[in-house]
Amino acid sequence: MSKVLSPRLARAFDLAEAGLPLLPVHSPVPPDRWHLSGCSCARPDCPTPAAHPLRRLTVDQATTSTRRLLRWWGGSASTANLATVAGAAVEVIELRHPSPHDEVAAWLRANQVEPGPVLDLGGGCIQFFASLTNVPVGWYHPLPPGWVTKLEHGSVVLLPPSRQAGGLSVEWLTGPIGIKLPDCWRLFQALRRLPTRAALAAYHHGDRDATERSRPVDGSA
Ligand SMILES: [Zn+2]
């Protein structure tokens, strides 16, 4: 009988093959007297619940090694969250903004940036993957409302099917496999110019209406 891979191990193999180094990370658990922070590490004062490496692992140990992934998600860490590390293979730009992702993506395209892989963390927080950069600038910009920032190298980045502390899931909006990474600096520059939610919606729908108006109604020229 052939052995069926668990969903987490199968995802890990796919992501590693696409070049993302991975690491098993603690997962959320229902808070009780042994897990006051809601993290499987059982530290009552855990500062980053469900978002730090398992046991004695460090972010430097993220890997694409099939043997190592099999040992983790095929063995003792089968229920661990799945994560990569910012700066290992990709930069990660985090956006807090209330607009729907399709409006943000349309804004990026209008600014000549094709978004690459994008994660939805819920609650108006999304994370864009981009190519590695050495540009030494301040990577934080407040928005009306929200903010955009590049995660520090070494930050843990949860990947599906991980769950966050509090129970929210992590989902791919696009990608990740087979999608080109955008230039990090150009992506950040386009996102830092995002207008308010109302202005972005008006821009998005105005743009679409203009496209509709320019199209012949009956198909004739
Ligand atoms: Zn913890």
Q: Is residue 221 part of a domain?
A: no
Q: Which helix (H) or strand (E) holds 119?
A: strand 118-122
Quote the number of domains for the chain. Answer: 1
Q: Is residue 1 part of a domain?
A: no
Q: How far is the CA of 133 from the centre of ligand 1 (A)?
A: 30
Q: Is residue 161 part of a domain?
A: yes
Sequential pLDDT tens for the chain (221 residues): 446 778 899 999 999 999 999 999 999 998 777 777 789 998 888 999 999 999 899 999 999 999 999 999 999 899 999 999 999 999 999 999 999 999 999 999 999 999 999 999 999 999 999 999 998 888 999 998 899 999 999 999 999 999 999 889 999 999 898 899 999 999 999 999 999 999 999 887 776 554 445 444 444 43
Q: How far is the CA of 80 from the centre of ligand 1 (A)?
A: 12
Q: Is residue 158 part of a domain?
A: yes
Q: Is residue 170 part of a domain?
A: yes
Q: How far apart are the first and last CA of the chain?
A: 62
Q: How far is the CA of 20 from the centre of ligand 1 (A)?
A: 23
Q: Rounded distance, CA 199 to CA 56, Å? A: 47
Q: How far is the CA of 89 from the centre of ligand 1 (A)?
A: 25
pTM: 0.89
Q: Is residue 220 part of a domain?
A: no
Q: Is residue 219 part of a domain?
A: no
Residue 147, SS3 per DSSP: strand
Q: Is residue 87 part of a domain?
A: yes
Owning domain of residue 24: 7-214
Position 101 scores a pLDDT of 93
Strand order across the beta sheet in which 156-159 lies: 23-25, 81-85, 156-159
